[in-house]
Structure 1
Amino acid sequence: MANVLIIGGGIVGLSSAYYLQKAGHQVTVLDKGDMTDSCSYGNAGMIVPSHFVPLATPGMVTQGIRWMFNSKSPFYVKPSLNPELITWGLKFLKKANAAHVEKSAVPLTELSMLSKKLYEDLSKEPGLDFDLVEKGILMFYKTEKAGEEEIHMAEKGRELGLDMAVLNAVECKKLQPKLELDVLGAVHYRCDAHLSPNKLMAALIKYLKAAGVKLITNTEVTKIETAAGKVSRVLSFNEEFKADEYIIAGGSWSPAIGRLLGIKILLMPGKGYSFNVKDDSGTMHIPALLAEARVAITPMNGGLRYGGTMELDKINDRINMNRVKGIVESVPKYFPALKPAIPEQKDIWFGFRPSSADGLPYIGRTKQYGNLIVATGHGMMGLSLGAATGLLVSEIVNGEPTTIDIKEFSPDRT
Structure 2
Amino acid sequence: MARVLIIGGGIVGLSSAYYLHKAGHQVTVIDKGDMTDNCSHGNAGMIVPSHFIPLATPGMVSQGIRWMFSSKSPFYVKPSLNPELISWGLKFLKKANAAHVEKSAIPLTELSLLSKKLYQELSKEPDFEFDLVEKGILMFYKTEKAGEEEAHMAEKGRQLGLDMKVLSPADCMKLQPKLNLDVLGAVHYACDAHLSPNKLMTALLKYLRAVGVNLVTNKEVTKIETSNGKVSRVWSSWEEFTADEYVVAGGSWSPSIGKLLGLKILLMPGKGYSFNVQDNAEIMQIPALLAEARVAITPMNGGLRYGGTMELDRINNRVNMNRVKGIVESVPKYFPGLKPVVPQQKDIWFGFRPSSADGLPYIGRSNKYSNLTIATGHGMMGLSLGAATGLLVTEVISGKPTSININEFAPDR
With normalisation by structure 1, the TM-score equals 0.99
> Shift of residue 279 of structure 1?
1.4
Deviations 1:338-388 (A, max 9, x none): 000000000000000000000000000011000000000000000000000
What is the DSSP-based 3-state SS (H/G/I as helix, E as strand, rest coil) of the residue aligned with 1:134?
coil
Question: Matches of 2:284 and 2:260 in 1, distance apart?
Answer: 47
- Which residue matches 1:170? 170
> Shift of residue 95 of structure 1?
0.1
Counterparts in 2 of 1:119-138, with a 5 A limit? 119-138=119-138
- Which residue matches 2:31? 31
Identical-residue share of aligned pairs (%)? 83
Question: Matches of 1:361 and 1:319 in 2, distance apart?
Answer: 27
Question: Matches of 1:230 and 1:176 in 2, distance apart?
Answer: 55
RMSD over aligned Cα atoms: 0.4
- Which residue matches 1:234? 234
Question: Matches of 2:79 and 2:336 in 1, distance apart?
Answer: 35
- Which residue matches 2:74? 74
- Which residue matches 2:194? 194
2:85 is the alignment partner of 1:85 = yes
- Which residue matches 1:297? 297
What is the DSSP-based 3-state SS (H/G/I as helix, E as strand, rest coil) of the residue aligned with 1:354?
strand
- Which residue matches 1:278? 278
Letter in 1 for 2:108: L
Question: Matches of 2:367 and 2:174 in 1, distance apart?
Answer: 54
Unaligned runs of 5+ in 1: none
Letter in 2 for 1:395: E
Deviations 1:319-351 (A, max 9, x none): 000000000000000000100000000000000
- Which residue matches 1:51? 51
- Which residue matches 2:403? 403
Unaligned runs of 5+ in 2: none
> Shift of residue 158 of structure 1?
0.2
- Which residue matches 1:329? 329
Question: Matches of 2:279 and 2:299 in 1, distance apart?
Answer: 8
Deviations 1:230-288 (A, max 9, x none): 00000011000000000000000000000000000000000000000011551100000
Question: Matches of 1:400 and 1:81 in 2, distance apart?
Answer: 43
Counterparts in 2 of 1:235-384, with a 5 A limit? 235-279=235-279, 281-384=281-384
Change (3 A) 1:281 1:104: closer
2:110 is the alignment partner of 1:110 = yes
- Which residue matches 1:146? 146
Letter in 1 for 2:210: A
2:191 is the alignment partner of 1:209 = no
Letter in 2 for 1:112: S
> Shift of residue 197 of structure 1?
0.1
What is the DSSP-based 3-state SS (H/G/I as helix, E as strand, rest coil) of the residue aligned with 2:85?
helix
> Shift of residue 131 of structure 1?
0.3
Question: Matches of 2:367 and 2:315 in 1, distance apart?
Answer: 28
Deviations 1:133-190 (A, max 9, x none): 0000000000000000000000000000000111000000110101000001000000
Instruction: Determine if contact 2:362/2:411 at 8 Å carries over to the other structure.
Output: yes
Letter in 2 for 1:347: D
> Shift of residue 191 of structure 1?
0.2
Q: Comparing 276-285 with 384-393, which one deviates more in the overlay?
A: 276-285
What is the DSSP-based 3-state SS (H/G/I as helix, E as strand, rest coil) of the residue aligned with 2:339?
coil
Instruction: Determine if contact 2:13/2:29 at 8 Å carries over to the other structure.
Output: yes
- Which residue matches 2:65? 65
Question: Matches of 2:363 and 2:330 in 1, distance apart?
Answer: 35
Counterparts in 2 of 1:92-107, with a 5 A limit? 92-107=92-107
What is the DSSP-based 3-state SS (H/G/I as helix, E as strand, rest coil) of the residue aligned with 1:310?
strand
Change (3 A) 1:280 1:68: closer
